[in-house]
A = this chain, B = another copy of it.
Amino acid sequence: MKNDFSLGTVRVAMKPMARFEEYLQSRGKRITQQRRAIVEQVFRHHEHFDADDLLAELAQEFGVRKVSRPTVYRTLSELVDSGLLRKMTLNGRSVYEHDYGYPQHDHLHCTKCNRLIEFQSDELTAIRDAVARQHKFRVSGHRLIVTGICDKCNRAQLRPTRRLEMV
């Protein structure tokens, strides 16, 4: 259906960890405990996250045997380089999402609850390419963020009954 903007799926040959190991080896880099822990945690769920989120998850998951902040930053950077993660900036801080194994997509960003909703549109890509062609611009990618209020927050706003916020 033409007006369906939901995401499809992308079949991938390897698991993220295997893909990352390949990347590391091709560059003479090492497969360390920390890198392994980070990749595993990062692909445990498909939510968007920032460095602090990841650091907190790792601390909780592994208790004493934590990964340091610099290492998290360094590894996130490698994950972006390797194509496993995609990085974007949301009100001043870096936010990451899965890239490997997920189709190209864009986001609706709710400024109320900060949630990101993904969608996909080929027409959008077509327009992008038409514009680029006109400017003789060689496209490497794009980032579209539509800001506004999501359905849930809209409903919440309409019914001021349960005003239990602010404690």
Instruction: Count identical subunits in the complex.
Output: 2
B-facing residues in A126-167 (Cβ within 8 Å): 127-128, 130-132, 134-151, 154, 167
Partner of A127, one of B110, B127, B135, B145: B127
User: With A124-B127, A167-B26 given, is the CB distance from A119 to B135 under 8 Å?
Assistant: yes
Tell me the interface secondary structure of chain A in the complex: mixed
A3-B130, A89-B89 known; A135+B111 contact, CB < 8 A: no
Given A3-B130, A121-B127, A127-B124, CB of A140 within 8 Å of CB of B135: no
Q: Name the distance in Å between A144's Cβ and chain B's nearest Cβ.
A: 4
Interface residues in chain A, defined as those with a beta carbon under 8 Å from any beta carbon in chain B:
3-5, 26, 89, 91-92, 108, 110-111, 117, 119, 121, 123-124, 127-128, 130-132, 134-151, 154, 167
